[in-house]
Amino acid sequence: MSLKTWSFGHMLLLVVAAAAALACNPVVHRFDRTTVAASLSKGNDAALVIGEFPLMKVTDGDTIRVAGLDASMRLLGLDTEETFKRKSEYMEFDKGWERYLAEAQAKTKSPVKIPTPMGEEAKKYAEAFFHGVRTVRLERDHPKEIRDFYNRYLAYVFVEKDGKTYNYNVECVRAGMSPYFSKYGYSRRFHKEFVAAQEEARAAKRGIWDPSKQHYTDYDRRLEWWNRRGDFIQAFELQAADHPNWIVLTHWDALDRLQGKVGREVVILGAIGDVRETAGPTKVLLSRRRTGSLPLIFFDKDVLARSGAVEARGEFVVARGVITKYFNKYKKQDELQIVVTMPGQIQREVLAPVDETETKADAEPAPEPAPQDSPAPEGAADVAEPEAPAENSPNTAKQDAADARADAIIERSADREGRTPR
């Protein structure tokens, strides 16, 4: 065989092998900030589509991971109850459901976020829903809402099953695994579907609406609180549409827009996070990301007290003021701020108890947050779909043991109520 013939034959084999590899391992496309900005400028639905990705893991009822993204999902419109993860949690639960719930509630003025049998049922529902699903389609609710405070991607999850397309977020509510979660705003795209799904689940007494099951008992209180926040956010967004200086701080381009308005008055929607007392002014931080917030500066303690900003910690407010720059000597860089000189610069809704643990309880440990507010840079290596672990691997054995404990929790919950576990 000549060298020319040998080379051509081997090149042909390599091409065939590469094509086969691509068929088995679909390429996962990433998006950078420039790509997002370009899609926004088109003014079409392309900005709402994140893409199709191989499903890697179901973490619980409202969290999944996919290959190709550097963080887990925060599934919009959902807030399922927690799953048991530690031995101490099982031990607390074994004291008895009513005592377990009462002791947890006594530790906080906020609605509790604790592991429950209902949380385990929600996880099993998700696992069953996604069983056999290899690829999911992720979409946004708003083209500028990309990640949450903990850097998780905000998404709806769509799957194709039996020739039909299903929105998992809505179906999870329909199954009674979660209420319609509006704490961070109503769904802009599927509000009616979520409302109808919740009404259907409640009427049929499914999941969290079944009084015989062990779950949180204060959903009416939670919904009233969440919906007031949803109303507050919605009212701001409707007005902001006609005012270019009204800015939602969680939008991916918020800092760019604020940079362009230095020295001018802006109106900002954000949630109050930390309040930091210093020898001089008090800093009230409007939360944006775990790695950065926008400070509201109060030099006058009386103005701070009358503004209600401290009491509004954890809640959304509207802050009005002139954007200025200051040099942060510790970070050695210019940063933005608003100096508050009058109480009326802070507008807040009627408050409910602050739920300081909500996002922390839900957040799955993730890699170091990316510095940008958009997905990983274009051209980064694609993440291959992981191989299934060996049948007797330590990880599988550990997961089997966790599943067995979860099953036992659900069964004990059913036995105490005289029910047959579903």
Any idea which residue has 């007392």 for tokens? Answer: 277
Domain-located, residue 229:
no
Quick one: pLDDT at residue 410?
A: 59
Provide the sign of the torsion angle of the four alpha carbons 348, 353, 354, 358, taken in this order: negative
N-terminal to C-terminal alpha carbon distance within the chain: 67
Using an 8 Å Cβ cutoff, are 269 and 233 in contact?
A: yes
Calpha distance 294→289 (Å, rounded): 10
Same domain, 59 and 176: yes
Q: Are residues 68 and 169 in the same domain?
A: yes
Whether 365 maps to a domain, the answer reads no
Check whether residue 123 and residue 186 sit in a common domain.
yes
Q: Which has the closest alpha carbon to 326: 294, 300, 302, 304?
A: 294
Domain-located, residue 193: yes
Tens-digit pLDDT profile for residues 399-422 = 556 666 666 665 655 555 555 444
Render the burial of 64-77: b for 16+ CB within 10 Å, e for the rest: bbbbbbbbbbbbbb
Q: Pick from 322, 348, 374: which residue ends a domain?
A: 348
Q: Which of these three, 156, 185, 217, is where a domain ends?
A: 217
Does residue 336 share a domain with residue 246?
yes
Angle at 143 between CA 247 and CA 235, to 5 degrees: 45
Q: Give SS3 for 406.
A: helix
Q: How many residues does the structure list for the chain?
A: 422
212 & 265 share domain = no
Say if CB 292 and CB 336 are below 8 A apart: no
Residues 206 and 244 in one domain: no
pLDDT band at 290 (very low <50, low <70, confident <90, very high): confident
- DSSP letters along 379-397, please? TPPPPPPPPPPPTT-HHHH
| Domain shared by 193 and 58, yes or no | yes
User: Which CATH number fits the domain that encloses residue 337?
Assistant: 2.40.50.140
Global pTM reads 0.75
State the average pLDDT over residues 124-140.
Answer: 96
User: For all residues of the chain together, what is the average pLDDT?
Assistant: 80
**Domain end point (choices 315, 348, 381):** 348
For residues 75 and 176, membership in a common domain is answered with yes
The parent domain of residue 305 ranges over 240-348
Based on the fold, state whether residues 207 and 271 are members of the same structural domain.
Answer: no
- In tens, the pLDDT along 53-101 reads 999 999 999 999 999 998 888 999 999 999 999 999 999 999 999 999 9
Q: What percent of the chain has pLDDT over 70?
A: 72
Please check whether residues 125 and 185 belong to one and the same domain: yes
Whether 48 is covered by a domain: the verdict is: yes
Residue 96 falls inside a structural domain: no
Whether residue 45 lies inside any domain: the answer is yes
Domain count, the chain: 3
Among the residues of 343-382, which ranges form H helices?
A: 358-362
Query: 3-state DSSP call for residue 39?
Result: helix
127 found inside a domain: yes
88 inside domain: no
In a shared domain, residues 44 and 185: yes
**The token pair that represents 419 in the structure block:** 């029910």
Q: How far apart are CA 225 and CA 139, in angstroms?
A: 27
Say how far residue 330 (Cα) sits from the centre of its chain. 31
Same domain, residue pair 163 and 37: yes
